Amino acid sequence: MSSLNLDDFTDLIERPDGGVRRDAEAHRERRIVPPGALGRLDDLGEWLAAAQSAVPVRPIEHPRAVLFAGDHGVAALDVSARPAGGAGRLVRAALEGASPASVLARGFGVPVRVVDMSLEADPGGLPDEVVRHRVRSGSGRIDVEDAMTLEEAEAAFRAGMAVADEEADSGTDLVVLGDISVGGTTAAAVLVAALCGTDASVVTGRGGQPIDDLAWMRKCAAVRDALRRARPVLGDQLQLLATVGGADLAATTGFLLQSAVRKMPVILDGVVSAACALVGQRVAFRAPDWWLAGQRSGEPAQAKALDRMSLEPLLDHGVTVGEGAGALLALPLVQAAARLAAELPEAPAPEPEETPAEPDADAEPDSEV
């Protein structure tokens, strides 16, 4: 029996300040740029103002990329183009600045934090700050066994919450959230199918590195079998994560919910973060108001999850590499929206029109010459 009561999040999470958002809308109406001329940037600026409870909005100055990492046992079924147990190599590439996400983050001046939750890698080969939250090595094959125990799921969930608190306490004002995993998109597809009541074929995509048709059919079968195991535990979100998720997905869910508690905005990346957000929505219905969808990856499970949460992606570039790369591409757009909302001056007030003087009724008429 878990000691973690997820129902508490319903009371702890408030929506962004609606009154401040109305003030931000009024401020926009007074700006020198005509309303609507900046398109969705206006909406983003108002959303940030409500999240910050500040008008005008403060510029985004301390963003951080947070990547939860783990290996998934279901990858042993050859459902991924990457080798099973290979997430550790991806983590090392990210730490060395050699991954797409780390290259983008370096260019944008964004620090990257990697959190190992369940890598099948020697923890001694990674920095202490990366491995200190590790729950286990890998996860169970979710088509035939649980990803982890309920106790491990709770530990991972609490680790995600702790990371969110650490980021909020350190002054992070926007998080780009991603994952580094092998087999993670399969687990994510199962979660989305279970929560949306759809079949495996509807949510199964080709993954971060596109797989061929035979691999897709194996992946679809794995999602189908795991979905059968997920349905009986749909009423308990922590048990659902333990059954068909993974430690990295449980930590991501805990991070998302605690970020909403701490009023720290998050940009979601691909299908894994979207699936965890969907679990978070089931826990606390107001939580998605604190999240942005960074990009449309093309994964059907991501599209299904975002549609269920009414989140419209900021970009549509089909970036499937994961690791927060797609969400990082959306970060400059959010920063631009904040800066425009903060720095554009108000239009000058129109000068009052001069009215002609009324003729003096008591004055004598001009004499005719």
Instruction: Indicate which residues carry an active-site annotation.
Output: 323
Query: 203 in helix, strand or coil?
Result: helix
**In the chain, alpha helices (H):** 8-12, 18-29, 40-52, 87-95, 100-108, 128-131, 150-169, 184-196, 200-203, 213-230, 237-244, 247-261, 271-283, 300-309, 325-343
Count CB neighbours of 14 within 10 A: 12
The answer to whether the CB of 259 falls within 8 A of the CB of 164 is yes
Count CB neighbours of 354 within 10 A: 6
Residue 335 φ/ψ, nearest 5 degrees: -65, -40
Radius of gyration of the chain (CA): 25
Tokens of 347: 């239009």
The answer to whether the CB of 175 falls within 8 A of the CB of 265 is yes
C-alpha 5 chain-centroid distance: 23
* Amino acid code (one letter) for 154: E
DSSP letter assigned to residue 199:
-
How far separated are the first and last CA of the chain, in Å rounded?
Answer: 110
Cis peptide before 35 (omega within 30 of 0): no
- Contacting residues for 62 by C-beta, under 8 A, at least 6 apart: 171, 172, 173, 174
* Amino acid code (one letter) for 131: V
The answer to whether the CB of 260 falls within 8 A of the CB of 286 is yes
The answer to whether the CB of 68 falls within 8 A of the CB of 248 is yes
* Sign, Cα dihedral of 82, 83, 85, 91: negative
